[in-house]
Amino acid sequence: MTYVKLPVLDESGYAIVDSYDQNADPREWENLVYVDWKSSGDTRFAPLASAYGDMECDGFWNHTPAKTDKDGVWVQENIDIAPILTGRAHEVGANVGRCRVIELQPNTYADAIYNLHRDDNNRLNPEGTGWIVRSFYNLTDNPDSVMILREDRDDPSTETRVPLPAGAQVVIDTQRLYHAVWHAGTEPRYCLITSYESGPELDTWISARNPRTRCESPHLDPQIILEGNESARNKRAAREAASAKSNSVDTTGMEVLSEA
């Protein structure tokens, strides 16, 4: 028994669909209630759906009873503030798990490479059901920022950089691909992130929006890539040395997946 997965995500692990006309909408994200939640980078989150409807962002498996990243409960205070964003999350029609707006402060390419991680969306997800993937709807206009995707965290040749202008919409198998955003702006970036269960509803939604499963990355100076990789490697080594010193190192050698 395996999971139900979408063929459209087989090849590259992501699908970029037609952009949404973001500029026609009010900036609902500016009024949401945010909670501090350490993710990849300097971030805060505004939950629209959480494990049990509370204003918090913890992984669904960290609750009692624990559950997989499905059947999110809408957070009344925030969905009242952001009916359009909530409607967009509903529009797909698939089972929704975590749904939240992320606020990300500007960072560097090297920061983003250090932040590359895979998600743990499918913890507790029963085999035979739909694989959990995530949609990213960019809300602010960040044409010079990119979602960095890599099949192999340490191999820049596997990297794709997806530009993030307002309205950009990408569905990503975030448990397969390493991902992090390089946000080159001066103001925070906002993005609606939703966990969806793979199945006919999500497939139909993607298919109706001209999915592209390859993206030509904007040019980036090879020297910046080299230095970014080097910097990330050094920071990881320093972190591992520090945790070894404090005896808190994970000696199983297993990669720890992020909840972000």
In the complex, the residues that contact Fe ion under the rule CB under 5 A are 119, 260
Asked if 128 and 1 count as a contact pair (C-beta separation under 8 A), the reply is yes
Coil/strand/helix, residue 96: strand
With respect to Fe ion, which residue has the nearer C-beta, 45 or 81?
A: 45
* For Fe ion, the closer CB: 81 or 190: 190
Nearest approach, Cβ of residue 216 and Fe ion (Å): 23
| Nearer residue to Fe ion within complex by CB, 79 or 147 | 147
Chain center to CA of 81 = 22
169-205 burial, b for 16+ CB within 10 Å, e for fewer? Answer: bbbbbbbbbbbbbbbbbeebbbbbbbbbbbbebbbeb
Polymer length of the chain: 260
- Closer to Fe ion by CB, 81 or 103: give it: 103
**Nearer to Fe ion by C-beta: 174 or 229?**
174
**Helices marked H in 30-155 — which ranges?**
76-81, 83-91, 109-115
Q: Is 156 left (phi over 0), alpha (psi -120 to 50) or beta?
A: alpha
In whole angstroms, how close is the CB of 117 to Fe ion at the nearest point?
6
Minimum gap (Å) between residue 174 Cβ and Fe ion:
5
Q: Hey, what are 93's tokens?
A: 């029609």
Smallest separation, CB 120 to Fe ion (Å)? 9
What distances in angstroms separate CA 210 from CA 123, 151, 177, 204, one per listed residue? 30, 23, 21, 11
Closest by alpha carbon to 236, among 178, 185, 184, 197?
178
In the complex, what is the shortest distance from the CB of residue 1 to Fe ion, in angstroms, rounded to a whole number?
A: 26
Nearer to Fe ion, 81 or 232 (CB): 232
> Which residues, 6+ apart, have CB-to-CB distance to 52 below 8 Å?
63, 73
Output the smallest distance, CB 179 to Fe ion, in A.
6
